Amino acid sequence: MDPLSDVLDLLDVRVAPPCRLEVSGDWALSFAEYRHIRVGAVLRGNLWLTAGDDVRLRLSEGDCYLLTSGEPYTIGSEPDHEPADGMAVFERAWPDTVYHHVEPGEPGLTSAISGALSFDETAAILLLDHLPRVAAIRAGTPEAANLRPVLELLSAETSLDTPGTGAMRDHLTHVLFVQTLRGVLVRPNVPAGWLRALADERLRPVLARMSRDPGEPWTVASLAAVAGMSRSAFALHFRDTAGVPPLDYLARWRVQSAGRLLRTTDRTVGSLAAEFGFGSESSFIRTFKRITGHSPARYRVDRSIRASTTFPSSAADLGDEPVVESGERTL
């Protein structure tokens, strides 16, 4: 029972070829908005990462970072240096090594690796809405220990051009992302959301059961029993930790799981409604449209659909299971 692996499977991760930067002197590169996640690491030297008006991080050799806000950002030798257009600089060489203020083939004072990952839009909401905008894993910390061999392999693969290099770079970028995500997961100050719930010893088995048996006729009381808590204490703890009530989370998980099957199989809407715990095809369609903003039929054929971030807002939208929570439903 591994909810993290289940969610990563639902995300349908797509990795853009990573790129290596060799740079010296005074420099700065700005990058425009991006989709979903940027992950990177400093292989040698140091750099400043600036995002928005409130994030300035000095990153040194062995440090890794995760960007999730989609907002423009800048990297450079100093945080206030006037930046050049990073995309224009990278496009001249990407996916090969980018040399900036240093002769091609020569090592720079600073060397860094970065990659981009994008996901299925509906499933991505579960992860991205609850990750910090910027996260850094510092070299020398326990979380960084498992990243060291990944960085060594990435350093080697991005400095070579041998058979299989492209595949290795993509796979290693994926591993770097998962390991960095693990590093974020163990932090005590993870914001309320799915990652925080996953790190909670009482809620982790509940998430695992929802993941493994989404079609069960779950109620707040039966989920509380899995956690070994009273119904009222569980409902409050789940909302405070995950950021949403348990049945809202369950509805989204069911729709995300069914949505993946809609796009990868020829399963009928009725069979998916039955498998994922909806009493009728119509209740499944209502819930699916509420969460994704589109009907199952359109979602199946239109891969350009971007999902809504709204959760179900009424008992009827959750299918036929009883809703025993009280109070205002919040995002």
* Per-residue pLDDT tens digits for 133-158: 888 889 988 888 888 888 888 888 88
Average pLDDT over residues 191-204: 79
CA angle 296, 301, 306 (to 5 degrees): 75
CATH fold for the domain made of 3-185:
Jelly Rolls (2.60.120)
pTM of the model: 0.67
Closest CA to 97 of 167, 155, 40: 155
What pairs with residue 57 in β-bridges?
49
More confident residue, 126 or 253: 253
Pairing of strands 110-118, 37-44: antiparallel
- What is the spatial distance between Cα 208 and Cα 6, in angstroms, rounded to a whole number? 9
Q: Which helix or strand (DSSP H or E) is residue 56 part of? A: strand 55-60
pLDDT above 50 (res 313): no
Specify whether the CB–CB gap between 95 and 21 falls below 8 A.
no
Three-state secondary structure call for residue 307:
coil
pLDDT above 50 (res 11): yes
- What is the spatial distance between Cα 83 and Cα 30, in angstroms, rounded to a whole number? 6
Long-range Cβ contact pairs of 195-204 (< 8 A, separation 24 or more): 195/127, 195/130, 195/131, 196/130, 196/241, 196/242, 196/243, 197/238, 197/241, 197/242, 198/3, 198/4, 200/241, 202/227, 202/228, 202/229, 202/237, 203/227, 203/237, 203/238, 203/241, 203/242, 204/3
What homologous superfamily does CATH list for 194-318?
Homeodomain-like (1.10.10.60)
- What is the spatial distance between Cα 139 and Cα 42, in angstroms, rounded to a whole number? 10
Residue extents of the structural domains in the chain: 3-185, 194-318
